[in-house]
Structure 1
Amino acid sequence: MDLQIALLIGQDGVTSGAIYALLALALVLVFAVTRAIYIPQGEYVAYGALTLATLQSGALPATLWLLMGAGLAVTVIDGVAAIRKRDGRAWGATLGWNVAYPAVLVLTLSALSPAQLPMALQILLTLAIVVPIGPMIYRLAYQPVAEASVLVLLIVSVAVHVVLVGLGLLFFGAEGSRTAPLWDASFAVGWMTVSGQQICVLAASAALIVGLYLFFEKTLYGKALRATAINRNGARLMGFSPVFAGRLTFLLAAFIGTLSGVLIAPVTTVYYDTGFLIGLKGFVAAIVGGLASYPLAAAGALIVGLLESFASFWASAYKEAIVFTLIIPVLMWRSLHSHGIDEEA
């Protein structure tokens, strides 16, 4: 291997690491606020990529029907509670967000030709379809057991993952899809050729990381989520609802996952179950950060991306095993340098 090849491999590793960094940040965020190890995070990647591919083919994405079905289920649950409390405002908000909003999306896309829309609008529609599924999943699967142990929440995550993968196969079939590149250009930088798509991935990842930093540092909701992550009971006593914190966290996680799917769709063929493997690599990066540190998780993501790229060059048949083996020394080091504590009641 000469320097030019090493630079090309490193370039691919950094691009992949930028995606893994976003997923690692989402996993750390969900675990910090809700104590759930969010295994289905990768499914948003697949759903986002395949929804965008479906729109570009001119068809209505089946994720619309998932959005409507989940919205109806949430409406029944929250609507009954609102009626019992005679809270007309809550009933109206529930009906608007969970029924009227999906219906407007269906009518809008039925009246348009999605394939003829500008790519920016296709991406916005993809986000509008997939992202609201996140808080709906929280309401249906996690909110009823929000105070359960971490083990119970992990079991729920496994169940949600299995359901979403099965629905992905039903919605999109077993065939993979790719989308048009976000920026079809290339630039010569020394010995390397940098594609416009790679620039889009790195720029979008950096912008999102900076945006999340500003959100948590400068906004009231961001500070409230940080408070919930530090002390759930204290945040509840100060008047911040853990239910709202959970829904907001799952909304952010769905946005990060869907955007990640949009970013990788032009450079790799995405299948209905592709998100699971990508999500696991993000999980390895999150473990490097101890499921608590955002900077360490981002650094771990870059390590995972570079390790995967170089392993693909030297031993492509074992690249996945090499990447996942990274978790073993990390866990051993953490077990030797940490002290066990009782789980929060």
Structure 2
Amino acid sequence: MDLNIASILAIDGVASGAIYVLIAVGTVLIFTVTRVVFIPFGDIAAFAALTLAAFEARTLPGTGGLVVLLACLATAVEAMSLLRHGRHREIPRALAYYLALPLALVAIVWLARPLYGESMVLRIALTLMLVVPIAPLLDRIVYRPIADASVLLLLIVSMALHFTLVGIGLVFFGPEGVRTQPMTDTVLELGPILLTGQTLIIMIAAVVFSAMLYFFFDYTLTGKSLRATAVNRTGARLMGIRPERSGAIAYIIGSLMAGVSGILIAPVNTIFYDTGFLLGLRAFVGAIIGGMVSYPGTVAGALFVGVLESFAAFYNSALRDVIVFSLLIPILIWRSIASFHHEEHDEE
């Protein structure tokens, strides 16, 4: 391997790592606020890619049906919870948030069908419009009823939810793989290295979203409330912060980042209904490197995973995933040795 090949592999690795940055940072965000390792994060990214491909084909994507299904289930769960606790007056508000709003977004997408082929910007906006409600609805259906459960139980439920979404994805999207049009055909020549415009967009998106999250958490009241919930849920309640609301905001932001990830990766990778698991797992390795708490560490870890994957594929493409996922073993051992351990006690 000479320097030129190493440079090309490094740039490809950084481009892949930038996608993993978005997924990993979103995973850490949801975990720190809710204690949920949100494994379906990659599934939502894959659904976003499939949704954009359907818009390019000028057809209504299966995501619309998925959102309608989740909205109905979330509304039923919320209504039963309110009735059980005698909070009947809050039912109209729940209907507006969990049913009317998602259905309105689906209706807008359906009414815009004649315009699908007009603009890439419009297709991206419609894709995000359909994808963003998925994670908050899943939170209400699956996670919020067991919000006080142990992290292990939440992880097991999250894994079960992933397999459920894979089956649902097959029903709504079919088994065919898709690859969307690149956002730009620009190619930059940096000496012997060719840098495509799509790769540059991916890198810029990772930087922009990371910077936006930094300013959001440090300079907005909502961001500070999420940080307070992440540090101490009981203390946040005492300060008047509702962990349920903080969790919903975290899921909305995470769903948005998953949607952007899927849109960015769709032109450079063929995406299937079950592709999201590998995307999420690679990003999860980066999040583990950051300790599932440090955003800078997560960014560095995700970029490292992308570069390692690129070089591993050059040496032996068949062992690429084995090499990347094998990182989990020494990292987890090191984290276990270096971290402070304490016994978990059930709250009385």
TM superposition score category, shorter chain reference: over 0.9
For the 8 Å contact 1:51–1:61, the answer to whether it is kept is yes
Q: Does 1:74 align with 2:74?
A: yes
Q: State the partner residue of 2:98.
A: 98
For the 8 Å contact 2:139–2:248, the answer to whether it is kept is yes
Q: How does 1:11-160 map to 2 (within 5 A)?
A: 11-82=11-82, 84-87=86-89, 90-111=90-111, 112-160=113-161
Rounded Cα–Cα distance in structure 1 between residues aligned with 2:139 and 2:120: 30
For the 8 Å contact 1:182–1:197, the answer to whether it is kept is yes
Deviations for 1:24-60, whole angstroms, at most 9, x for unmatched residues?
1111111111111111111011011001111111111
SS in structure 2 of the partner of residue 194 of structure 1: strand
Q: State the partner residue of 2:337.
A: 336
> How many Å apart are 1:155 and its aligned residue?
1.3
- Which one-letter code corresponds to 1:96 in the other structure? A
Rounded Cα–Cα distance in structure 2 between residues aligned with 1:277 and 1:14: 17
Q: State the partner residue of 2:219.
A: 218
For the 8 Å contact 2:55–2:117, the answer to whether it is kept is no
For the 8 Å contact 1:62–1:171, the answer to whether it is kept is yes
- Which one-letter code corresponds to 1:240 in the other structure? I
For the 8 Å contact 1:33–1:246, the answer to whether it is kept is yes
> How many Å apart are 1:256 and its aligned residue?
0.9
Q: Does 1:264 align with 2:262?
A: no
Deviations for 1:184-204, whole angstroms, at most 9, x for unmatched residues?
211111221111101110111
- Which one-letter code corresponds to 2:96 in the other structure? G
Deviations for 1:214-265, whole angstroms, at most 9, x for unmatched residues?
1101111110110111111100111111111111111111111111000000
Rounded Cα–Cα distance in structure 1 between residues aligned with 2:110 and 2:36: 37
Rounded Cα–Cα distance in structure 2 between residues aligned with 1:86 and 1:174: 43
Q: How does 1:160-171 map to 2 (within 5 A)?
A: 160-171=161-172
Deviations for 1:170-213, whole angstroms, at most 9, x for unmatched residues?
11111100111111211111221111101110111111110111
Deviations for 1:298-332, whole angstroms, at most 9, x for unmatched residues?
10111100000000000111000000111122122
For the 8 Å contact 1:178–1:269, the answer to whether it is kept is yes
Q: 1:114 to 1:59 in 2, by over 3 A?
A: farther
Which range moved further: 191-200 or 73-82?
73-82
> How many Å apart are 1:92 and its aligned residue?
3.4
SS in structure 2 of the partner of residue 269 of structure 1: coil
Q: Does 1:177 align with 2:178?
A: yes
> How many Å apart are 1:137 and its aligned residue?
0.4
For the 8 Å contact 2:44–2:134, the answer to whether it is kept is no
SS in structure 2 of the partner of residue 193 of structure 1: strand
Rounded Cα–Cα distance in structure 2 between residues aligned with 1:177 and 1:252: 25
- Which one-letter code corresponds to 2:19 in the other structure? I
TM-score (norm 2): 0.95
SS in structure 2 of the partner of residue 116 of structure 1: coil
Rounded Cα–Cα distance in structure 2 between residues aligned with 1:296 and 1:97: 35
For the 8 Å contact 1:59–1:114, the answer to whether it is kept is no
- Which one-letter code corresponds to 1:188 in the other structure? E
For the 8 Å contact 1:131–1:258, the answer to whether it is kept is yes
For the 8 Å contact 1:18–1:201, the answer to whether it is kept is yes
> How many Å apart are 1:110 and its aligned residue?
3.1
- Which one-letter code corresponds to 1:158 in the other structure? M
Q: 1:336 to 1:80 in 2, by over 3 A?
A: closer
Q: State the partner residue of 1:249.
A: 250
SS in structure 2 of the partner of residue 140 of structure 1: helix
Alignment: residue pair count: 343
> How many Å apart are 1:109 and its aligned residue?
3.2
For the 8 Å contact 2:289–2:297, the answer to whether it is kept is yes
Q: 1:55 to 1:339 in 2, by over 3 A?
A: same
Rounded Cα–Cα distance in structure 1 between residues aligned with 2:222 and 2:156: 29
For the 8 Å contact 1:56–1:114, the answer to whether it is kept is no
- Which one-letter code corresponds to 1:28 in the other structure? V
Rounded Cα–Cα distance in structure 2 between residues aligned with 1:102 and 1:114: 20
> How many Å apart are 1:287 and its aligned residue?
0.6
For the 8 Å contact 2:166–2:274, the answer to whether it is kept is yes
For the 8 Å contact 2:77–2:140, the answer to whether it is kept is no
Rounded Cα–Cα distance in structure 1 between residues aligned with 2:270 and 2:253: 25
TM-score (norm 1): 0.96
For the 8 Å contact 1:55–1:114, the answer to whether it is kept is no
> How many Å apart are 1:336 and its aligned residue?
2.3
- Which one-letter code corresponds to 2:197 in the other structure? G
- Which one-letter code corresponds to 1:141 in the other structure? V
SS in structure 2 of the partner of residue 342 of structure 1: coil
Rounded Cα–Cα distance in structure 2 between residues aligned with 1:249 and 1:107: 25
**Which ranges in structure 1 are unaligned for 5 or more consecutive residues?**
none
